Amino acid sequence: MHRGELFLLLCVFSVGSASRSCIRRHQIHTLEGEPFYLKHCGITSSEHKNETAAIRWFRVHASHGYVELNTQSSPRITLQSHYLEFWPVELEDNGTYFSQVGNDHQTWTLIVIKRNEHSCFSEKLVINKNVEVKKSLLIKCENSSYSELINHTSLYKNCKEIVLQGLLRGIQKDAEFEDGGYYTCVHSVHHNGKQYNLTKTYNITIIEGNSKITPAILGRKFDTVEVDLGEEVELNCTALLNKNDLFYWSIRKEDRSNPNVHEDTNMTTWTSEGKLHAFKKLTFRNVAETNLNVLYNCTVTNEEATDTKSFMLVRKEMADIPGHVFMRGIIMAVFISVAVVCVVILCVIYKVDLVLFYRRLAERDETLTDGKTYDAFVSYLKECRPDNGEEHTFAVETLPGVLEKQFGYKLCIFERDVVPGGAVVDEIQSLIEKSRRLIIVLSKSYLTNETRLELESGLHEALVERKIKIILIEFTPAGSFTFLPPSLKLLKPCRVLKWQADKSLPYNSRFWKNLLYLMPAKAIKPWRDEAEALPVLSTP
């Protein structure tokens, strides 16, 4: 059967019987201001009625023997069947009493204890009880002697009211160490229109169980602790153990005399399970070289088991980069890489502009020392037929108009610079040799007639002797040049410029920039005249 049910059954039984037990003890302690009774022992219920009249009560007085008590003796005293009742008992009632039934005498010494003004109970009137931890702690607030008169019951722990567990009129739980304390039951008793308090106090002490545990040190069995020399370090050891188990640090002889190494006294607390939690520190006030790489052991032991934990002090690693610094470094590196990549991409895109800008800034001039006369030899279709008029104009007017007038280059244009007569072949050969670049204005009909010669000697210079660089200007869109000599196709794509009529016309257009980029660096001699410079070039 469940403990609670059993208790309830007992409870019902005791209330039903409502019997008042007689008190055989000679000395009775009771509390001032509370209801109290004395009952003569040895009267059986069969004799009950007949003996009522026969029982007599006396109080012993030190000075004048004894005095019989009757209802006139004190308004607080009632004589009921074979009870002497006090409503309530007071300090003046302290003394010796006896009852007489026939020849039968019974004596009691009543010690009335003064009420404690500052507490809900009197320390002289407590019932000491030990409860083993984890076992049931049961406190019932009941007094069967007055059960019919009680109409309210409350329970206090260390004079603080606690909630009663329903029908139990008390508390029941598994004992824990913090449950120890003074539990006071206060019954409110009603008699003749007056309220009285009936108190009973238990001094509950929670004691440890008998079952022993295996002592153990908590945490890992081996710990390394990183230290700097001269630092203060505490090694912490925590163990779960029984009361009489040994718990200690093993300290080497040389450390025992060292004031820097100090074993702290053990701190202990009880766990709620009734085990002892002990904590012991080994303190190094000033870590020295000799303390490093030594095992410091913390041991807990009893007859049955031993557990040890070892600590080792090691020197802190120096080059340890703290985590946040490392993170910041990575972020910086990524940021810088991205920035570098961006700059490189921009440089590639604006290479031409950057080079031109640099040339202007540094006033670089590649043309001074190579002993050549012309910056470029312009090779173009010389015959001015109606179907190649634009091309002719470009080579003879547009090209020199920009390169010579705006940028100070000196071009060699056959039609303009070569005096008629003389050996054309030799002439061309030597002119190309005197030029730094060979600009070929490429068109459909270019590869016919005598320009072939220029092309060939130029290609020879460029590809075999590497004396001249070729700049190819596609005047008519490429693709139509199916007849190009294979060697010309070897030219790097960047050395081929496409003329895009109107779009290329302004001298700040990409076409001219690219052309300038391919031309040798030359310090610009500003001999251009403004009138011609501004409207750039007239559309052909």
Ligand X SMILES: *[C@@H]1O[C@H](CO)[C@@H](O)[C@H](O)[C@H]1NC(C)=O
Contacts with ligand X by CB under 6 A lie at: 30, 33-36, 49-50, 91, 94-95, 109, 111, 123, 126, 128, 143-146, 151-152, 186, 188, 190, 195-198, 200, 203, 205, 225, 234-236, 246-248, 250, 252, 266, 268, 276, 278, 295-297, 310
* Beta strands 66-69 and 56-60, pairing class: antiparallel
Give the integer Cα–Cα distance in Å for 472 and 253. 94
Give the integer Cα–Cα distance in Å for 203 and 4. 23
Q: Which residues contact 240 (CB under 8 A, 6 or more apart)?
A: 213, 215, 216, 218, 271, 275, 276, 277, 278
Note the maximum CA span of the chain.
181
Query: Per the structure block, which two tokens stand in for 467?
Result: 């004396």
Phi and psi angles of residue 391, each rounded to the nearest 5 degrees, phi first: -65, -40
The nearest distance, CB 167 to ligand X, in angstroms, is 18
The nearest distance, CB 4 to ligand X, in angstroms, is 20
The nearest distance, CB 304 to ligand X, in angstroms, is 16
Query: Per the structure block, which two tokens stand in for 292?
Result: 């490093």
Angle between helix 323-349 and helix 351-362 axes, rounded to 10 deg: 80
What is the DSSP-derived secondary structure letter of residue 62? S
Task: Return the number of the residue (243 or 351) whose C-beta is nearest ligand X.
Answer: 243
The nearest distance, CB 317 to ligand X, in angstroms, is 17
Q: Is the dihedral of CA 500, 506, 509, 514 positive or negative?
A: positive
Cis peptide before 535 (omega within 30 of 0): no
The nearest distance, CB 252 to ligand X, in angstroms, is 5
Query: What would the 3-class secondary structure string for 271-296 be?
Result: CCCCCEEEEEEEEECCCCHHHECCEE
How far is residue 251 from each of residues 236, 261, 345, 401, measured CA to CA in Å? 14, 9, 68, 99
Contact call for residues 247 and 266 (beta carbons, < 8 A) = yes
Task: Return the number of the residue (296 or 512) whose C-beta is nearest ligand X.
Answer: 296
Please provide the size of the chain in residues.
540
Q: Residues 373, 378, 382, CA angle at the centre, nearest 5°?
A: 130
How far is residue 394 from each of residues 142, 473, 507, 519, measured CA to CA in Å? 126, 11, 14, 17
Task: Return the number of the residue (157 or 510) whose C-beta is nearest ligand X.
Answer: 157
Instruction: Specify the DSSP element, H or E, that contains 160.
Output: strand 160-162
Query: Per the structure block, which two tokens stand in for 508?
Result: 């700040």
Task: Return the number of the residue (31 or 497) whose C-beta is nearest ligand X.
Answer: 31
Q: Active site includes 454?
A: yes
Task: Return the number of the residue (123 or 174) whose C-beta is nearest ligand X.
Answer: 123
Tally of CB atoms within 10 A around 300: 26
- Choosing from 85, 454, 461, 474, the catalytic residue is 454
Give the integer Cα–Cα distance in Å for 137 and 175. 5
The nearest distance, CB 324 to ligand X, in angstroms, is 21
User: In DSSP terms, which residues pair with 309 in a beta bridge?
Assistant: 298
Task: Return the number of the residue (204 or 468) whose C-beta is nearest ligand X.
Answer: 204
Task: Return the number of the residue (123 or 320) whose C-beta is nearest ligand X.
Answer: 123
Task: Return the number of the residue (39 or 392) whose C-beta is nearest ligand X.
Answer: 39
How far is residue 270 from each of residues 180, 267, 279, 434, 520, measured CA to CA in Å? 13, 10, 11, 107, 94
The nearest distance, CB 163 to ligand X, in angstroms, is 15
Distance linking the first and last C-alpha atoms of the chain: 121
Strand, helix or coil at 494? helix
Contact call for residues 311 and 298 (beta carbons, < 8 A) = yes
The nearest distance, CB 328 to ligand X, in angstroms, is 27
Contact call for residues 85 and 93 (beta carbons, < 8 A) = no
Task: Return the number of the residue (45 or 72) whose C-beta is nearest ligand X.
Answer: 45
User: In DSSP terms, which residues pair with 365 in a beta bridge?
Assistant: none
The nearest distance, CB 343 to ligand X, in angstroms, is 49
Return the active site residues: 454
